[in-house]
Structure 1
Amino acid sequence: MRLFFFTLLLISGPVMAQDVESALSITQKECMKLIRMNTVNGADYVPGVDAHGNKVVGADVHEDSKLDLPEEITFDLGIDLAEKYNFGPGFQGKAKLGEVKIKGRDVYWNGKKLYKDENQAVLDACLAQYGQKE
């Protein structure tokens, strides 16, 4: 029996990683949720109406209350393993995972710009299969 099994393995040959295609399966329900989450209504301001078309009372905002945000925000992302696992006093376990930079609408991880290509590819496939937002 073992000889038969090993012979079968040799005859079938090796399978290379390049020969295997990756596949993604997503349900219609999840597709529709993704479409709803990523479909943006017009950006034109309409007084007294929220983004969903519901009537709202306007806010009385004074000009002096506006925030002056910097053009770029940078911070380190890390974890303190000693605190997380309760190693007690005298132990330090701070580990820097990387640097996050936010510049306008772009986000960078250790200097490399992050993209939404994967999310967009799935969204495009859902739109092609199920159409636009209901």
Structure 2
Amino acid sequence: MKALLIALPLVLLAGPSLADVAVSKRDCDRLVEYQQAPGVEYQPGVDVHGRPVAPADLGGGYNIKPPEIIVIPIEILIQDRFNIPANSVLWDAKAQVGTVIVKGNQVYYEGQLLGDPETAALAELCREHYPPQ
């Protein structure tokens, strides 16, 4: 009986075991980034049945390709941070406090990957247990 009284609080403090935790397909669908099925990507000038169609941009359109790396400087206005009056020499002064870089689906702040490692690990397990169909 004495051993039971000592062991019971330890069991309660330990919480659920990994075998007690279940992640549903619905939960995994929220974690895993969508990947479209092969063959369904957009094809200009063709409808869903492969028949030719007139382009929507009859004027020629634009061929702008976004950069592969996007750099976003993070700045603060010195006047706001230190309550500098509007008639001061430092009225429009800015200070760069960091840089955000976007590469594909990944975002970095000052070279550090932003994201949740635990969420990434769960998403990987979801991909293993619920492979795309």
In the superposition, the TM-score normalised over structure 1's length comes to 0.42
